[in-house]
Chain A
Amino acid sequence: MRQARRITRAVALLVAALPLLCAWAAAAAPAPAFRAGRFDPPRQAPDFTLQGSDGRELSMSRFRGKVVLLAFGYSSCTAVCPITLATLAAARRELGPAAADVQVVYVTVDPERDVPARLGAFLHNFDSSFIGGTGTPQQLAAVRKDYGISAQKIPLRDGYSYSHSSFTYLIDRGGRIRALMPYGHSPGDYVNDLQLLLKE
């Protein structure tokens, strides 16, 4: 009888202590350092030569030594591109002086409308350091193929729009594609990853 009571008491004690033990054991696993998707091993960013919105020739090799954020879109985009560009501009502001080593490159998927001047004016609404790239449809198609970017023209009643890949590549100082940030991440996520790349 006494033994049964002892067992019951021990079980009751165990049941009562379980939540405490569980709370103690619930140590969170360390978060991955990069918030973007990482490539392993990273590959060299394919080079290209396009017309820059700054009036100069635009190539990836031109920015060797800087961390490059490479995104694709078009200036008439009303959904994704303004948000991505505003996020990248906010991330550069948050970085402070270190932003001098970060270059945003925005390659158009709409060569018909995005001539260098128009692209430049659009990008300057967000950050005057952003550089856009445009070229012939063939040149741009080749760049998209090299970077695995999709872009589909959608006819509208009064013109057309594009459905296009919405992520941003993070390219390190050595010109290697290190990571891919999906659309919708905060400036803080970019700052986190840019700081990691800038430290290297």
Chain B
Amino acid sequence: MRARSAVLSTAAALGCAALVWSAFAPIHSASRNQVFVIPKGTWARRMSGEKLEILPDHIRLTLGLRDILVLRNRDEVPQIFGPTLMMPGQSFELPFAQASEYQFVCTAHASGQMTIVVDPYPASPWARIRWRAHALLDRLHEPAGQS
């Protein structure tokens, strides 16, 4: 009886510790870069009629965690990628410092627009718990091999 109560109270204490941890522990991201790459051969595939959507028309970033949009053109021809023209082999690194919604003209999209939503850094305990929960869900729904 006493052993079961000790186990239960330890489990409750650990659950409580986990909640406190997720509320107060700083959130670290291995990299602040959200990377999108135009692979080699993209232009040729598009020319052959294949429909390729490399850059989503809505991108969500979080200040302080994942707030640098990185675009890489690995193809052999210049490409309009996001807001800019990129030469073969060139990278473009765009940092965001303000939480907001950004609209860019992007001819690579059928809509002609690209929207980047930058969420504020999850500063409050509740925001951290929510961010961690979303991150966990995203991780679970993420297709294998995508970073």
Contact = CB atoms under 8 A, between A and B. Distances in A.
Interface of A: 4, 7-8, 11-12, 14-15, 18-19, 22-23, 25-26, 28-29, 31-32, 34-41, 43, 147-148, 150, 163-167, 180, 182, 184, 189
Nearest to B78: A148
23 contacts: A4-B6, A11-B17, A18-B24, A18-B25, A22-B21, A22-B26, A23-B24, A25-B25, A32-B68, A32-B93, A32-B95, A34-B95, A38-B92, A38-B94, A40-B90, A40-B92, A43-B87, A163-B105, A165-B83, A167-B84, A180-B84, A180-B92, A182-B104
The 8 closest A-B pairs by CB, nearest first: A148-B85, A37-B94, A26-B26, A11-B13, A22-B24, A19-B24, A32-B95, A40-B91
Nearest to A28: B64
Given A39-B90, A41-B90, A11 B10 contact: yes
Give the bracket for the number of chain B residues in contact with chain A. 35 or more
B105 A165 contact: yes
Given A26-B26, A37-B69, A40-B91, 13 more contacts: A8-B13, A19-B24, A25-B26, A31-B97, A32-B68, A37-B93, A37-B94, A38-B94, A43-B90, A148-B85, A165-B105, A180-B84, A182-B94
A60 to B, nearest CB: 16
- Most chain A CB atoms below 10 A, which of B89, B92, B105: B105
Contact of A22 (B25, B84, B95, B97): B25
Interface of B: 6, 9-10, 13-14, 16-17, 20-21, 24-26, 32, 64, 68-69, 78, 80, 83-87, 89-95, 97, 102, 104-105, 107
A14 B25 CA distance: 13
Contact of B102 (A28, A29, A182): A182
Contacts of B9: 8
Contacts of A22: 21, 24-26
A8 B52 CA distance: 57
